[in-house]
Amino acid sequence: RTHTISTAVLFFIHMATTMTIKVGSRKSQLAMRQTEMVLGMLQAQFPTTKFEVASLETVGDKVLDRPLQQVGGKSLFTKELEEELASGAVRMVVHSLKDLPTTLPPGMAIGAMCKREDPRDAVIFHPRFVAGTKLADLPAGSTVGTSSLRRSAQLKALYPQLVFESVRGNLNTRLSKLENSTEDGGEGHRFSALVLAAAGVIRLGWSAKIGELLDPNTCLYAVGQGSIAVECLASDAEMLQMLASICDRDTLLCCSAERAFMRTLEGGCSVPLGVRTQLSANEAGTGAASLELCGSVTSLDGTVTIKDKVAQSVATVKDAELVGVELANLLKAKGAQELLQAIRAPETLLPRPS
């Protein structure tokens, strides 16, 4: 016990000395904003430490002429950052947790999952629509843009009268495509609305643009959506201890369950897999909480959905991961594995991107 306390004290004494830590980030406005948020939390804990941001573009940032599932790979927004981390060029990298594969490269670790923003999906409508418009109000045949197979698959089931089309690019680019759309425009220029993660819109201060927040009971959100993850080397004890100070326990439990669910199903951004997670208040005197995880897999055309939920008492990350594994196995027993195999077939693709 004495040794543990003295180690912690020595760590904070060491961090109180002036030192500079390099941090990796993508270049987009949202990525830089999220990195600023992380550094703000760290600066509050370690006021004498200096942080320098090294920004770069990933494959996912550069290849914008086709849907993500056609680009290939599971590290489209993270690989280049992890290469910088492995080389020692940076000591930590900041990600949107939903972009981070559920199996990390050898030697990498998630040092922190920061407190989750609203995980729901949001709808932003073209300016020609009046305030209060919902997806259900759009005229039949209206085109809705999204970069997500998960969103388009679920929404096709809810709104079969609408057309869902792939739209890529950072948040600014997608909003520009929406605002410059016309009713009689060509492909990629006739969007009536966009569906995207609410968290990014909120973090950029654009909440007023949101016209509708989708019910997570009917449009399940992406694994990890709304949380920021900070990755470092698994061997870097100093960074792991530093990042532990900004890790949010509730987010860690919920997102660990979600990531175990996806990992067991071998899912990723190329499959329409959704989740909804609820964590109760801590159970008195036990340090545990009740975690309910709902998950689904939906066919690309929205006609088939396999869905179930599991609720268990959890106190540790391992407990939470077991909830995710149990739910994945329930869905497998209902045919999710076969549905996923059909979805991954080369001929099952989104419409041509804008």
Residue numbers annotated as active site: 99
Spatial distance between the Cα atoms of 331 and 297, rounded to a whole number of angstroms: 8
Which residues are 144's β-sheet partners? 164, 193
Burial 185-207 (b: 16+ CB within 10 A, else e): eeebebbbbbbbbbbbbebbeee
> Which position has the token pair 């830590």?
21
Among 266, 285, 245, smallest CA distance to 324 is for: 266
- Residue reference for tokens 């040794």: 3
Burial class of residue 271, CB neighbours in 10 A (0-12, 13-18, 19+): buried
Q: Are strands 212-213 and 288-298 parallel, antiparallel or unpaired?
A: unpaired
* Integer Cα distance of 131 and 125 in angstroms: 9
Q: How many CB atoms neighbour CB 215 within 10 A? A: 12
The alpha helices in 296-352, defined as continuous H runs, are 317-333, 336-343
The helix/strand/coil state of 297 is strand
Radius of gyration of the chain (CA): 21
Task: Give the separation between CA 210 and CA 121, rounded to whole angstroms.
Answer: 10
Q: DSSP secondary structure string, 241-272?
A: HHHHTT--HHHHHHHHHHHHHHHHHT--TTS-
Q: Is 14 helix (H, G, I), strand (E, B) or coil?
A: helix
